[in-house]
């Protein structure tokens, strides 16, 4: 099995021979990892439950963890899920990698479509599933919203969307998501929306695909699934808490598969994640920081403030040359967009000509980084 090397590995190689200006503070806006402390009440819940390490965790999760996730879905999206419509998981990365393998295993020539550029695990999952990949390009022409031809929809077994989107920061409305739900029923493909950034919004909370399913009358969530994660929401990527929710028929079989995968979350992590999923105050405090960072970027670079995520997808002439120059002259690291995308059948990589800037630092560092990017753009 041959996987692509990870974007951060490619970046390390790209910058390996460059000596940056070390009179300047090093700033890395590359990884989508909030650079803030995990709130203390979450850390305390983890410490208080360390005695639970003596027990094996169940694949189905603890009742209190599942209840917290159900309460989150109800409060945030108005979606009342049944117990069999949700599975807690060890962060969402493992689900994104093993769910396609589970789903596509019995299909002879499986076909998987996903947005391009993308979170690298989608491609890894397609490779591990021996699936043909259909790349749904996100570019200026389609306003970073994916489309599929009739033939592609007839062919696809699994379609992964990711809205709010990493890296382009675009969102889909309830109506647009509803159209996707209808297409998944009409053409009979499984539709999964990766909603890891749904809680990092600037003003209006973005809708969930599950809400959209109810909106178009798909009350059993047939063919419809979402994943969500605490990593960005609670500045707690180390807590490894997420869930997959939706179509109960698929999830019933997937639960059985997961007992063999053996990645149930340790009980102390589940106890801490339960309090985190139930609290909204700390998330609003984080949103304030990201909002402020977007305002700083707008003030200095003139970029639009997106509806969600903490990314700026910035157009530059040559993303590789720009990334090198920014590092050499300003000691600031960003990610070349082409590392996050792949060439489509026409040879075009929609990540070319863009850099991804992760606004995950505090206001002071964000300001410094934006000034450096501006200087580099103007040079």
Ligand X SMILES: Cc1ncc(COP(=O)(O)O)c(C=O)c1O
Give the footprint of ligand X on this chain (CB under 6 A).
32, 91-93, 119, 162, 166, 194, 196, 229, 231, 237, 242
* Least distance (Å) between residue 1 CB and ligand X: 21
* Least distance (Å) between residue 106 CB and ligand X: 25
* Least distance (Å) between residue 241 CB and ligand X: 8
Q: Match 């259909």 to its residue by tokens.
A: 134
Give the separation between CA 47 and CA 33, rounded to whole angstroms.
Answer: 22
Could you tell me the two tokens for 123? 């491609």
CB 145 within 8 A of CB 98: no
33 secondary structure, DSSP code: -
Q: Rank residues 91 and 331 by Cβ distance to ligand X and give the closer one.
A: 91
Through-space distance between the first and last CA atoms of the chain, rounded to whole angstroms: 43
* Least distance (Å) between residue 105 CB and ligand X: 22
Q: Rank residues 97 and 187 by Cβ distance to ligand X and give the closer one.
A: 97
Q: Rank residues 201 and 218 by Cβ distance to ligand X and give the closer one.
A: 201
The phi and psi torsions of 303 (rounded to 5 degrees) equal -80, 150
Q: Rank residues 181 and 196 by Cβ distance to ligand X and give the closer one.
A: 196
Give the separation between CA 74 and CA 81, rounded to whole angstroms.
Answer: 8
* Least distance (Å) between residue 316 CB and ligand X: 21
CB 202 within 8 A of CB 305: yes
Which residue blocks in 87-195 are alpha helix, DSSP H? 93-104, 121-128, 150-155, 174-186
Q: Rank residues 222 and 242 by Cβ distance to ligand X and give the closer one.
A: 242
Q: Rank residues 99 and 189 by Cβ distance to ligand X and give the closer one.
A: 99
**CB atoms closer than 10 angstroms to residue 20:** 16
Q: Rank residues 190 and 376 by Cβ distance to ligand X and give the closer one.
A: 190
52 secondary structure, DSSP code: G
Close Cβ partners of 163 (under 8 Å, ≥ 6 residues apart): 170, 171, 172, 177, 193, 195, 206
* Least distance (Å) between residue 102 CB and ligand X: 17
* Least distance (Å) between residue 129 CB and ligand X: 17
CB 185 within 8 A of CB 222: yes
Q: Which residue(s) pair with 294 in the sheet?
A: none
């Amino acid at each position: 099995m041959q996987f692509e090397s990870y974007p951060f590995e490619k970046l390390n190689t790209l910058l390996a021979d460059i000596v940056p200006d070390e009179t300047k503070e090093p700033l890395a806006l590359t990884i989508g990892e909030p650079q803030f402390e995990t709130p203390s009440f979450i850390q305390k819940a983890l410490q208080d439950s360390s005695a639970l390490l003596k027990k094996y965790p169940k694949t189905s999760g603890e009742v209190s963890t599942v209840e917290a996730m159900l309460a989150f879905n109800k409060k945030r999206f108005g979606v009342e899920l049944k117990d069999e419509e949700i599975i807690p998981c060890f962060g969402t990365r493992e689900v994104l990698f093993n769910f396609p393998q589970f789903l596509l295993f019995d299909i002879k020539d499986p076909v998987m479509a996903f947005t391009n550029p993308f979170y690298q695990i989608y491609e890894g999952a397609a490779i591990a599933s021996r699936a043909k990949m259909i790349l749904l390009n996100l570019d200026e022409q389609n306003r970073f919203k994916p489309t599929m031809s009739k033939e592609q929809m007839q062919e696809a077994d699994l379609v992964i969307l990711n809205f709010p989107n990493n890296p382009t920061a675009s969102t889909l409305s309830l109506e647009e998501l509803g159209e996707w739900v209808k297409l998944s029923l009409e053409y009979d493909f499984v539709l999964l929306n990766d909603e890891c950034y749904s809680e990092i919004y600037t003003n209006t909370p973005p809708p969930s695909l599950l809400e959209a399913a109810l909106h178009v009358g798909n009350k059993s969530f047939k063919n419809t699934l979402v994943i969500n994660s605490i990593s960005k929401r609670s500045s707690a990527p180390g807590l490894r808490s997420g869930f997959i929710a939706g179509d109960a028929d698929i999830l019933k079989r997937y639960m059985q598969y997961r007992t063999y995968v053996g990645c149930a979350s340790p009980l102390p992590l589940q106890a801490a994640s339960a309090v985190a999923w139930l609290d909204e105050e700390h998330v609003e405090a984080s949103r304030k920081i990201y909002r402020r960072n977007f305002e700083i970027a707008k003030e200095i670079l003139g970029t639009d403030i997106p509806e969600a995520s903490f990314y700026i997808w910035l157009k530059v002439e040559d993303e590789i040359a720009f990334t090198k120059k920014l590092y050499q002259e300003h000691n600031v690291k960003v990610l070349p967009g082409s590392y996050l995308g792949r060439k489509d059948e026409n040879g075009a990589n929609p990540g070319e000509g863009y850099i991804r800037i992760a606004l995950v630092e505090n206001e002071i560092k964000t300001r410094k980084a934006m000034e450096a990017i501006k200087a580099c753009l103007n040079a």
